Structure 1
Amino acid sequence: MSDPLLHLVLFEPEKAGNVGNVARTCAVLGAELHLIRPFGFHLHDREFRRAVMDYLAGVTLHEHANWTAYQASLPAGARVWAFSAHAQTYHTRAGFRRGDHLLFGPESRGLPSWLREGLPALKLPQPGGGRSLNLAVAAGVAAFEAGRQIEGW
């Protein structure tokens, strides 16, 4: 895809089902998916294939060996937004632009502090409490809000 709406970036994802569901979100939004190793599963796992169904053909998938390799792949001027329950700013206040990268951490621990401290960080509202949302749900909520801001849906 030459001009994707967004890039959804999963740092060291652990659950095949979540990644499959994020891939489906990418397919329906016209977003690209970036996966930063190591993964807690294999891309040919049955759980991943079941979650992604036949949507993977519609997704531009980028695999990166590590955070450094991902950063090296970024074009000049790329904006990366780190999503974290520790952030102070809500995602609705970000002012997303076409081509932004939305970064999410692993399911069990979220983004490490060394990574999120170097990036603009956003959080999703959780008025009912709880530690965090499921990765696929959080990525979907953030991606659709970004799309709304960009496209005016």
Structure 2
Amino acid sequence: MHIVLVEPEIPANTGNIARTCAVTGARLHLVGKLGFSTEDKYLKRAGLDYWHLLDITYYDSLEQFLESHSTARLHLATTRGGRWYTNVPYGPDDFLVFGKETQGLPRELLAARPEQCIRIPMRPGVRSLNLSNAVAIVLYEALRQQGFAGMV
């Protein structure tokens, strides 16, 4: 599995997600301008001592990421998605794509790929879940569907 963060802004969220990737074997892709330095102490603290277990790839832009993975199966997490994340079949090479904490994924991307949009159900009137929680929820559903392959 692949976790893609487009322009993440909060170091602790990215650190938590990195730790989740390390314990699940998911690859982490960081796209575009990050809202922090990868040397940030909060990023490092949240990831604990798991950094050496990560497979991280950096991309300068969303366009570069999309060009590099033009044939990949993407699942775009958004509060505007039409399908619940539980109603989607996931494969081991799929990419779970999440946007920045304050704005989510670019509207143009979501409009161009509505069939790839997924959402986590929430009560009306709330904005969204914490990014690291959302990643964990969707990733573990994808892994559950695959029988938690390679995990004990």
3-state SS in 1 of match to 2:20: helix
| Residue in structure 2 matched with residue 96 of structure 1 by the alignment | 90
Q: 1:128, 1:144 → 2: CA distance?
A: 24
Q: Does 1:8 align with 2:3?
A: yes
Length-normalised TM-score, structure 1: 0.91
Residue in structure 2 matching 1:143, options 123, 128, 139: 139
| Residue in structure 2 matched with residue 125 of structure 1 by the alignment | 121
The offset of 1:152, in angstroms, is: 5.8
Identity of aligned residues (%): 35
The CA RMSD over aligned residues, in Å, is 1.4
| Residue in structure 2 matched with residue 34 of structure 1 by the alignment | 29
Q: 2:19, 2:75 → 1: CA distance?
A: 21
Q: 1:20, 1:93 → 2: CA distance?
A: 28
Residue in structure 1 matching 2:53, options 58, 63, 88: 58
Moved over 2 A (4+): none
Length-normalised TM-score, structure 2: 0.92
Structure 2: which amino acid aligns with 1:56? Answer: W
Residues 47-82 of structure 1: per-residue CA shift (max 9 Å, x gap): 1111111111111000000011111221x6310110
Structure 1: which amino acid aligns with 2:77? Answer: F
Q: 1:50, 1:69 → 2: CA distance?
A: 29
Query: Number of residues paired by the alignment?
Result: 147
Residues 20-58 of structure 1: per-residue CA shift (max 9 Å, x gap): 000011011110000001010010011111111111111
Q: Please list every run of 5 or more consecutive structure 1 residues that lacks an aligned counterpart in the other structure.
A: 1-5
